Homo-oligomer: A and B are copies of this chain.
């Protein structure tokens, strides 16, 4: 256990850099914050480098989980504020290893595939919904917001430790789904598509959700085995992406 008192400390500077995508992927590490998330990471036996906590927070954390104190850094409040990505600073942080498979073969189950989603809150919320609905995992296209973005991590509320989440080129993922016999269901805003309510349950599928403003990209729509849509009955132009995804995910759960 070590103690760091200054935001100018080299280690703190390095950790702070993990709030930027570029450094996360150079270092292959990322930062999470908050009791709930850190507790989930500990319980899920995630590989981590450091656990940072204020003295008070560390005492509280000890009641919740077993901690290897060689990895603990006790920090002052001012460092917690410095590292936090939220307005109301959290008091506990963890530096984790990014552990993405180089290749991945989709062999069974139900998956959500996110095509170029840009809002971190939407991405995190959809992953949380996929977890709640008992889906097996989520594929996030390379063009989407970075999976290790602090807002994405926060809105997942721990679901990143429950289901598989893989950020990879979407066409590679879809080729693997196709090769393994998964039907590709693509959500579109087109009334010529099949109404969600008329879609029968299936034992496995890849369910593609598109960009908040532009929907699913053309190359991906071209690969659809089935195009589906949620009917808009009122005057709203569309549904929020996370809400639309939630309705579809639960329909197929």
Contact = CB atoms under 8 A, between A and B. Distances in A.
A221 interface: no
B125 A159 contact: no
Contact of A125 (B128, B163, B243, B253): B243
Given A243-B242, A247-B247, A234 B125 contact: no
A91 interface: no
A235 interface: yes
Interface residues of A, number: 34
Contacts of A130: 234
A242 B230 CA distance: 16
Contact of A236 (B128, B232, B239, B245): B128
A240 interface: yes
A242 B158 CA distance: 18
Given A243-B243, A247-B250, A236 B125 contact: no
Contacts of A240: 125, 128-129, 155, 242, 246
A159 B236 contact: yes
Interface of A: 121, 125, 128-135, 155, 157-159, 162-163, 230, 232-240, 242-247, 250, 253
- 6 shortest A-B CB distances, which residue pairs? A134-B233, A243-B246, A132-B236, A162-B235, A131-B236, A131-B234
